[in-house]
Amino acid sequence: MSFLPQEIIRAKRDGGELDPADIAAFIQGLTDGSVSEGQVAAFAMAIFFKGMSRKEAVALTLSMRDSGEVLSWPELDRPVVDKHSTGGVGDNVSLMLAPIAAACGLAVPMISGRGLGHTGGTLDKMESIPGYTAMPDSALFRKVVAASGCAIIGQTGNLAPADKRFYGIRDVTATVESVPLITASILSKKLAAGLGALVLDVKCGNGAFMDNPDRANELARSLVEVAVGAGMPTTALVTDMNQPLASAAGNAVEVRNAAYFLTGKARDARLLEVTLALAAEMLVSGGLATNAGEALTRAQSVLDDGSAAENFNRMVAGLGGPVDFLSDPDRHLEQAPIVTPCLAGRQGFVAGYDTRAVGLSVVALGGGRIRPQDPVDHAVGVTGLLPVGTPVEEDTPIAMIHARTADQLSMAERELRKAVRLSDTAPQATQVILGRHG
């Protein structure tokens, strides 16, 4: 070994600024296994306590990007732009956003992750569609992006493999919440996807990993500055996660919600606002609109004229799903055997949510995972979640619980009742888009 990992750990432990070459050598050792798990854990802990400069974070991100394959898209004649969310509850934005952006003329090769803890994963949602190939080979991935303008798939082992090992060690050593490490983890995968630009949705609130505005804005600034420093134009919106974004939380139930959204059958107001705002950021970043107003108009028009829905259906069929998925999603998506209302139990108003607890109610049903290797039940979840401010009577359903067993139903109902806060007076309205960076 031509370098001593313990000296790099020591330098960071003592608050020094690491040379990019030393960071690259450490990440190479992490990738090929020549750096031990204990050394990686110590390195992560040193960064957790001492932080990283922007220059160091850029070097870490680029080294992790270069640990595997870096895609390029020379065959496409349209701008390649993607979006990433830091995760929340009822956040199925990607399912509508990718086909909206594609219908407007962007290419969106969306490489997504699975859910962990209380947050849902886009990949788990897509896999609730029968036949959908979430892990296609490179040829099929490229074919579907070219034909549909978008493809929502999972991360292959060839893209930023250093991140997979690094995250696994961080997950068991209490070093996940470091802003530079979160930044490098997110951006290394997006840079490896060969994007021309990136738009970020940084969630803020009691259902997000960043639970207050200061932390959310710190992460948004870090992501934008490091991405730009690594050569990728990037903007970020900070959005509210103090209540579920969609009225559904789960896997098949969120896909059904997205299908209704795309076809115009039902659109949750806050979900619509966030989806269109992110679409506008993508169009401006990709050079297809000169300002947000023009971009919003274009995004709304492809949603309303059905072309976004057509792109989604083409993507689903191209990746092995039903060719008529959007014409009858209820026929194709698995339904839970028990569907029961959770009643308000008193008169008043929905005053707020413990959004994390809503996510945990889905986990209690079997629709989420505690460990990465856990299976998920795609059919279960909650629907009909009422927006904050909704007046309720004693017998008003605050949500419908979709369960596999009676035991899971009772656990989920307990979690959900704890999660919904009722009051005698109507709460003040809150904004869903809290800020912008970049």
Active site members:
82-85, 122, 170, 185, 189-190
Q: Is 236 helix (H, G, I), strand (E, B) or coil?
A: strand
Q: What b/e readout covers 280-305, taking b as 16+ CB neighbours within 10 angstroms?
A: bbbbbbbebbeeeeebbebbbebbee
Phi, psi (degrees; rounded to nearest 5) at 211: -90, -5
Residue matched to tokens 């990007």: 65
Give dist(CA 183, CA 201) in Å, integer. 13
Give dist(CA 122, CA 14) in Å, integer. 39
Whole-number CA gyration radius for the chain: 22
Give whole-number Cα distances, 56 to 18, 19, 52, 225, 406, in Å. Answer: 7, 7, 6, 12, 52
8 A C-beta contact, residue 361 and residue 416: yes
Structure tokens at 63: 């080294």
Structure tokens at 150: 């978008």
Neighbours of 412 (CB within 10 A): 28
Neighbours of 264 (CB within 10 A): 11
Burial (CB < 10 A; 0-12, 13-18, 19+), residue 139, is exposed
